[in-house]
């Protein structure tokens, strides 16, 4: 057996190094399907999106595409016809994310803490709160369409009319510009909070119970235990939930499309960047503009994710 010496004088065996090679190859083999999927379904389509965004491509055009450079990007921010809907869609995306990320994460944390206790029938409660996650978004949109129906027969209008003894008149929750986006936000939080709750709940169950018992012996209250034991114990889980919710909040599309096309939701108040991209390619045949919107959306998500990671890492180090 050949023995080598390391820089600090310790012997290193080539046999030991050869034993690690099977683990390395096994790791590469197990990660290969995921890496292949990332390349095929994310990297290559994104490269094509960048290429398409630099060209004047109409889906049904007979002549070949021309290189436009950054014309599509400039038009999205300066052209009066294109910039209005695009900037409004971007604003809707940011408002949606600004509300959904803290509210949905906080609500998921509260539900997870509540359902982590030894309650009677806790499995039923967990199933009840997780149930909307398995519902297709189309079904969720139909359910909320009935709840938010503009007529007096709508579930929400009927409930408000009954509670206020007829003093509140029926309201067009989806058609009004002041309540349309709020309705989509409420729908989305209701459908998605169960998924985040399950992730946080898994993190809570990894915290050793001895820490809570020691804190109880030191007469720490429930709030002190939550701040000094629970939150630090699930910090990495909460970071993951926030990042995941951020990405999903900028991908909102299904509920917007269904409510606009089937329930008459206010398009200007509810459309998002992803909705506008699909609308550009399927209704206006403008593949170049749709690709430019997709690239801008990707860059926004990457920047926000990097900033979040940097801020949270700095707080962790401090």
Spatial separation of the C-alpha atoms in residues 284 and 61, rounded to whole Å = 12
pLDDT per position as a tens digit, 64-120? 778 888 998 999 999 888 889 999 999 999 999 999 999 999 999 999 999 888 878
pLDDT score, position 125: 84
* Cα torsion angle, 97, 98, 101, 107, sign: negative
Q: Which of 38, 37, 75 is nearest to 53 (CA)?
A: 75
The neighbour count for residue 279, using CB atoms within 10 Å, is 20
Whether the CB-CB separation of 57 and 68 falls below 8 Å is answered with: no
Q: How confident is the model at residue 318 (pLDDT cuts 50, 70, 90)?
A: low
Tokens representing residue 304 in the block? 């926000």
> In the chain, what's the furthest Cα-to-Cα distance?
91
pLDDT per position as a tens digit, 244-290? 898 888 888 888 998 888 888 888 899 999 999 999 988 888 888 99
Residues paired with residue 5 on neighbouring β-strands, in sequence order: 11
116 Cβ neighbours under 8 A, 6+ residues apart: 201, 204, 205
pLDDT score, position 1: 44
Query: Stretch 50-62: mean pLDDT, rounded?
Result: 83
In this prediction the pTM is 0.82
Tokens representing residue 58 in the block? 């109409």
Cα dihedral 68→73→76→81 (10° resolution): -10
pLDDT score, position 168: 83
pLDDT score, position 13: 54
pLDDT per position as a tens digit, 201-250? 999 998 998 888 899 888 888 899 999 999 998 988 998 898 889 888 88
């Amino acid at each position: 057996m050949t023995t080598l010496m390391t820089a600090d004088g310790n012997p290193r065996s080539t046999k030991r190094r050869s034993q690690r090679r099977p683990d390395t190859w096994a790791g590469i083999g197990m990660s290969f399907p995921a890496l292949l999927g990332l390349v095929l379904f994310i990297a290559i389509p994104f490269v094509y999106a960048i290429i398409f965004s630099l060209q004047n491509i109409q889906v049904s055009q007979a002549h070949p595409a021309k290189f436009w450079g950054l014309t599509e990007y400039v038009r999205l921010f300066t052209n009066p016809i294109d910039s209005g809907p695009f900037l409004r869609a971007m604003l809707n995306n940011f408002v949606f994310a600004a509300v959904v990320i803290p509210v949905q994460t906080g609500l998921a944390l509260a539900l997870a803490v509540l359902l982590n206790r030894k309650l009677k029938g806790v499995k039923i409660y967990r199933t009840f709160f997780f149930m909307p996650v398995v519902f297709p978004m189309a079904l969720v949109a139909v359910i909320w369409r009935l709840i938010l129906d503009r007529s007096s027969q709508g579930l929400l209008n009927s409930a408000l009319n009954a509670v206020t003894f007829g003093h509140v008149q029926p309201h067009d929750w989806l058609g009004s510009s002041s309540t349309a986006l709020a309705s989509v936000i409420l729908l989305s939080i209701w459908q998605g909070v169960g998924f985040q709750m399950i992730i946080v709940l898994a993190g809570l169950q990894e915290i050793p119970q001895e820490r809570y018992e020691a804190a109880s012996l030191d007469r720490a209250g429930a709030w002190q235990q939550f701040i000094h034991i629970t939150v630090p114990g699930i910090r990495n889980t909460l970071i993951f939930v926030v990042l995941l919710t951020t990405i999903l909040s900028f991908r909102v599309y299904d509920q917007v499309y269904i409510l606009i096309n089937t329930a008459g939701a206010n398009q200007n108040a509810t459309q998002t960047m992803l909705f506008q991209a699909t609308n550009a390619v399927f209704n206006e045949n403008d593949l170049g503009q749709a690709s430019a919107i997709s690239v801008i959306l990707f860059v926004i998500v990457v920047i926000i994710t990097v900033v979040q990671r940097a801020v949270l890492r700095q707080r962790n180090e401090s």
